[in-house]
Amino acid sequence: MIGPFTKSLNTKLITLFIIISVVSIAATGILSLKAAEDALRERIDAQLQNEAKYRASLIENIWSLRVEQVQLLASSQQVKNILKESYKKIVQGVINTQELEKTIPPSIEDSNFYDLKIINKDGKVISATNSSLIGKDLSQNPNFLRGIREASYSIEKDEKTRKAVMIVTAPVFDDVGNSQEIGAIQATREINLVNKITTDRTNLGKTGETYLVNRDELMITESRFIPNAVFTQKVDTLPVKECFENGRNLSGIYSTYLKTPGNLGQYTMGKAGIVYNDYRGIPVFGASYCDRDLGFVLLAEIDASELYSPLLELQNQYLIIGSLISLGVGILSFFVVRTISRPLINLTHAVEKISQGDFTMDIKEPTSKDEIGRLHHSFRIMISSLRQSIEQIQKLNSELKIVNEKLRLKDKLKDEFISIASHELKNPVQPILGFAYLAKKGKIPHDEAWDGVLQHARRLKRLAIDILDVSKIESGTLDYKFTKVHLNQVIRNVAESLRVNLSPGVNMEVYLDQKDPEIYADIERITQVLENIIENAIKFTKQGSIKIQSQSHPDKVDIVITDTGGGIPQDILPNLFGKFVTQSVKDGMEHGTGLGLFITKEIITAHKGQITAYNNKVGGATFTVTLPINNYANQKS
């Protein structure tokens, strides 16, 4: 029998080209599909993990806030008074338990919770928004038994509304050191905000959903597919069991490699998520966030059919395209033999030059479109790609040199900072040793020696604090605690605390804007900024006045501090907010660290503000600090 490879060259080439094309297309398709599947699974797994973690953290924060609100309510004097008066009346025999307080005071009812109950330590309800609960015995109630010891909450079903509610219980302590429980306060609140978080379909496609399941394996938030599922839908899927049995999140520790949709319900160990059957019995791709201590697990899931539908479409496209290409190869191969020699010779010459390292050669676009022509074209693209790769490598080498130079410069700046800091730290130490030595030898009075030691010790402490702040700033670890701050009060407090340091004959004038601007800031850091600037003004102002003003604008507030001192030397003004930039001092004044204005500048920048300084025409200097007023959203983001 004569095979295809024993016939003419034309038949051999046609057969060979067809086999090569089919194998190449099949291999490319398989590898591409596998790569696409892995990439898709990893992306969806990461997306679902992020959604689960992000939404769970929002829910935890909300529930922690609710507990804190009830704790704050439990610490109010009104609640304590209700409990104390109730016990006092029982002891005196003036009133029995059923005649105790009949309603919660209005100030407590305004807490946005409903079904508020004040319970004495014996478990009796002595005051409630629902008067029918007065006198009810809750001594065996699990929420009361947990809440009388420490603040706690539970998610339960409201039998009236048939919705999930949050019941928060917090202990009420006496006024003597808060060491003795005198009762508890219990409040109920709907979890509508949590439902909004879990039912948000953003980033979840057409079939994705997130929901919460408690340790009883019951759904406690709304389902996308089943109405009225709260506390009725049983969810005993793999993520729930992993959470409550092993305390483990469902994420990248599992995966499923799927060849056909028929085995979507199976899973094996791997690197990219898991496919399992959800509470509907439908295969889904999911991730979870487990908080076994708080008694819930959040599941983020998307139907497997939606996940794999793009892969099935891509597979069909590969089959169609591959079939068409194979057919074209068979037809075009008839015309290959006549034109095969010349292109091969050209390619041989090109290969020889490339082997010698010559990539500058110009390969003309082939005129033929058959297999050899396509090979010629592919070779031309390969040379172009190699040339581009070499250029990119050269470019990367240049960029690497620049990065290395920047790193070297940073190391140099770090060494300079350490050198300067070491020198500055030694400066206060030597006078301290000198004063101690002179006092020990009796050459100066002890009081004078102690004054000198204290002066330089304070400078050493201030320098150490400033160097620590600079280190935190440069490492990005300086913490800020942003709260709403009435700026006028901060300015007034700083000015009054520093007024005692004024030189004789120097006045401090404070002019505050009547609008009393409120900003969102770290009050301690803003105080530190004002103290640095005003202390400098006091240090260099020996006569005249120091004027402090606040000026409100629609979206910002300016704090202007003007003095009549000697002004800022022109040689240090351009680098005034740098490190270890300090002005010479006279008349025995304490030498600054040279870090205060650098720290001040960084703090103001962290508050989205600005600081400027200039010398006055009539003498002295003016510092202006500008802070945004409506910056709550910016700082929060």
pLDDT at res. 637: 46
pLDDT category of residue 265 using cuts at 50, 70 and 90: very low
Distance of CA 194 to the CA centre of its chain: 20
CATH of region 195-308, choose from 3.30.450, 3.20.20, 3.40.109, 1.10.3430: 3.30.450
User: Helix axis angle, 371-440 relative to 446-475, nearest 10°?
Assistant: 170
Q: Is 464 in a helix, a strand, or coil?
A: helix
Which residue from 264, 289, 303, 155 is spatially nearest to 211, judged by alpha carbons? 289
What is the C-alpha R_g of the chain? 39
pLDDT at res. 109: 52
Q: Is 101 in a helix, a strand, or coil?
A: coil
Average pLDDT over residues 384-413: 79
Which residue from 101, 98, 133 is spatially nearest to 115, judged by alpha carbons? 133
Pick from 84-98, 392-406, 502-516: least confident: 84-98
Pick from 348-357, 405-414, 588-597, 604-613: least confident: 588-597
Q: What are phi and psi of 454, to 5 degrees?
A: -65, -40
Task: Reply yes or no on whether the pLDDT at 186 is more than 90.
Answer: yes
The pLDDT tens digits of the residues spanning 75-89 come to 888 888 888 887 666
The domain ranges of the chain are 68-194, 195-308, 479-636
Q: What are phi and psi of 127, to 5 degrees?
A: -160, 140
The token pair that represents 147 in the structure block: 């809440």
| pTM as predicted | 0.46
Q: Which fold has domain 68-194?
A: Beta-Lactamase (3.30.450)
Pairing between strand 506-511 and 544-552?
parallel
- Position of tokens 């509508």? 192
pLDDT category of residue 341 using cuts at 50, 70 and 90: low
The pLDDT tens digits of the residues spanning 32-73 come to 878 887 888 888 888 888 998 999 999 989 989 999 989 988
Burial of 160 (0-12, 13-18, 19+ CB in 10 A): exposed
**One-letter-per-residue 3-state SS of 318-331:** HHHHHHHHHHHHHH
> 438 pairs with which residues across the strands?
none
pLDDT at res. 96: 43
Which residue from 282, 285, 280 is spatially nearest to 252, judged by alpha carbons? 285
Average pLDDT over residues 589-603: 75
The pLDDT tens digits of the residues spanning 210-238 come to 999 998 999 999 999 999 899 999 999 99
Task: Reply yes or no on whether the pLDDT at 457 is more than 90.
Answer: no
The token pair that represents 76 in the structure block: 């109010």
Pick from 110-124, 571-585, 608-622: least confident: 571-585
Burial code of 536-556, b = ≥16 C-beta within 10 A, e = fewer?
bbbbbbbebbbbbbbbbeeeb
Task: Reply yes or no on whether the pLDDT at 102 is more than 90.
Answer: no
Task: Reply yes or no on whether the pLDDT at 627 is more than 50.
Answer: yes
pLDDT at res. 10: 58
Contact between 118 and 127 under an 8 Å Cβ cutoff? The reply is yes
pLDDT category of residue 113 using cuts at 50, 70 and 90: confident
Contact between 539 and 592 under an 8 Å Cβ cutoff? The reply is yes
**Four-CA torsion 575, 573, 421, 605, nearest 10 degrees:** -60
Q: Could you give the C-alpha distances from 281 to 196, 213, 220, 249, 496, in angstroms and in order?
A: 25, 16, 19, 21, 71
CA 284/CA 443 separation, integer angstroms: 87
Burial of 124 (0-12, 13-18, 19+ CB in 10 A): buried
Average pLDDT over residues 324-339: 69
pLDDT: which is higher, 157 or 269: 157
Burial of 42 (0-12, 13-18, 19+ CB in 10 A): middle
Distance of CA 534 to the CA centre of its chain: 35
Average pLDDT over residues 448-462: 72
CATH number of the domain at 479-636, please? 3.30.565.10
Q: Nearest-5° angle of CA 614, CA 615, CA 619?
A: 160
CA 384/CA 350 separation, integer angstroms: 13
Which residue from 194, 241, 195 is spatially nearest to 217, judged by alpha carbons? 241
Percent of the chain topping pLDDT 90: 29
- 68-194 shares its CATH topology with 479-636: no
DSSP element (H, E) containing 610: strand 610-615
DSSP element (H, E) containing 552: strand 544-552
Mean pLDDT of the chain: 79
User: Helix axis angle, 487-498 relative to 523-540, nearest 10°?
Assistant: 40
Task: Reply yes or no on whether the pLDDT at 473 is more than 60.
Answer: yes
pLDDT category of residue 254 using cuts at 50, 70 and 90: very low
CA 78/CA 556 separation, integer angstroms: 40
CA 183/CA 123 separation, integer angstroms: 8
Average pLDDT over residues 517-535: 91
Task: Reply yes or no on whether the pLDDT at 170 is more than 60.
Answer: yes
The pLDDT tens digits of the residues spanning 241-252 come to 999 998 888 765
Pick from 44-53, 101-110, 426-435: least confident: 101-110
Task: Reply yes or no on whether the pLDDT at 194 is more than 50.
Answer: yes
Which residue from 572, 561, 564, 566 is spatially nearest to 611, judged by alpha carbons? 561
Average pLDDT over residues 380-397: 80
Pick from 24-38, 289-303, 541-555: least confident: 24-38
Task: Reply yes or no on whether the pLDDT at 351 is more than 80.
Answer: no
Average pLDDT over residues 541-545: 91
CA 552/CA 556 separation, integer angstroms: 6
Contact between 581 and 572 under an 8 Å Cβ cutoff? The reply is yes
